[in-house]
């Protein structure tokens, strides 16, 4: 397979602190080659697969396995080395590079090691990072404030994460009940995109009546649950298109009956066909 890398590196950004400099989503074939990274800025690096191992700060340090849904926060100037540990599993990761982390106390989190580990069992942080990369790819420079607004939510998650000494890690969780409810619903929808879920099934899952569930969700988000489900399906379809998946496979994973249904829904939602969307992203 060929590597698929998309997102955006911002060349013109407002004078705000902290500030996103780039947002990248990458799927690459496994490689035993060791890759060293050393950035003058802050890096938040997230793994969706369990096939990566890393060394941090010291090239002689033992390799440590990075399980899926694990984020690493690196302070400026912290070197780290990565390689694939499984030759069969593609490596899927997403990261943002930003400045100004020291202004909001991130240096207290990373400490003298210049590193902190976050466990994201519910994929709350992962979904936000994917959304950043998707917006960066789709909107380019004009998407800065859209990405920056999500970055502020990411900052809140990292600052509120609870340290667990037995795991030497911070645990990502939501503390606001209303925000938690919305994120739980959205994560449930994203986890069931390939299924034909109904409002009744979703409401039952959250132990609510159909009307109460639909009313509460729309009040908090301004959208119906079904509208959010369609948004999530289209966003997944966009991501899979950019990674080179075939329409038939995308239709199955994103919950569409077939390629025709996918193409019709995609055009209705975005104003362009899947093929035209790819041309706008990568050119002819």
pLDDT of 284 strictly over 60 = no
Close Cβ partners of 203 (under 8 Å, ≥ 6 residues apart): 209, 210, 212, 213, 214
State whether residue 45 is helix, strand or coil: strand
219-244 residue pLDDT tens:
888 889 999 999 999 999 998 998 88
64-101 residue pLDDT tens:
888 889 999 999 999 999 887 777 778 889 999 999 99
Averaged over 10-39, what is the pLDDT? 90
Strands (DSSP E) along the chain, which ranges?
4-9, 19-28, 35-37, 42-47, 52-56, 64-66, 70-74, 80-84, 91-99, 115-119, 162-164, 169-171
55-69 residue pLDDT tens:
999 988 888 888 889
Express as a percent the part of the chain with pLDDT over 90: 56
CA nearest 226: which of 214, 216, 210, 212? 214
Domains and CATH numbers, the chain: 4-173 (2.60.120.280), 178-282 (1.10.10.60)
Tell me the helices (H) and strands (E) count for the chain, helix number first.
10, 12
146-181 residue pLDDT tens:
999 999 989 989 998 989 887 789 998 765 556 678
Averaged over 7-19, what is the pLDDT? 93
User: pTM for this one?
Assistant: 0.65
CB-CB contact of 228 with 185 (8 Å)? yes
249-281 residue pLDDT tens:
999 999 999 999 999 999 999 999 999 988 888
């Amino acid at each position: 397979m060929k590597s698929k890398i998309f997102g955006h590196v911002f060349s013109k950004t407002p004078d705000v602190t902290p500030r996103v400099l780039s947002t990248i989503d990458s799927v690459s074939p496994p490689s035993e080659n060791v890759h060293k990274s050393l950035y003058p800025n802050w890096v938040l690096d997230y793994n969706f697969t369990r096939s990566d191992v890393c060394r941090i700060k010291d090239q002689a340090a033992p390799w440590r396995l990075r399980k899926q849904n694990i984020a690493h926060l690196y302070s400026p100037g912290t070197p780290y080395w990565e390689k694939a540990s499984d030759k069969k599993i593609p490596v899927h990761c997403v990261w943002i590079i930003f400045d100004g982390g020291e202004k909001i106390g991130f240096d207290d989190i990373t400490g003298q090691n210049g590193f902190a580990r976050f466990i994201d069992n519910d994929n709350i942080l992962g979904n936000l990072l994917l959304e950043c990369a998707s917006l960066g790819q789709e909107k380019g420079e004009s998407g800065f404030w859209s990405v920056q607004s999500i970055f502020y939510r990411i900052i809140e998650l990292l600052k509120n994460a609870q340290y667990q000494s037995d795991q030497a890690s911070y645990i990502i969780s939501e503390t606001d009940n209303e925000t938690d409810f919305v994120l739980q619903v959205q994560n449930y929808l994203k986890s069931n995109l390939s299924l034909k879920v109904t409002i009744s099934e979703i409401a039952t899952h959250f132990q609510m009546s159909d009307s109460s569930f639909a009313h509460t969700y729309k009040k908090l988000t301004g959208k119906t649950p079904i509208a959010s489900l369609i948004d999530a399906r289209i966003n997944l379809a966009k991501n899979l298109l950019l990674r080179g998946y075939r329409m038939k496979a995308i239709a199955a994973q994103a919950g569409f009956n077939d390629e025709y249904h996918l193409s019709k829904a995609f055009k209705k939602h975005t104003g362009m066909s899947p093929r035209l969307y790819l041309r706008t992203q990568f050119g002819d």
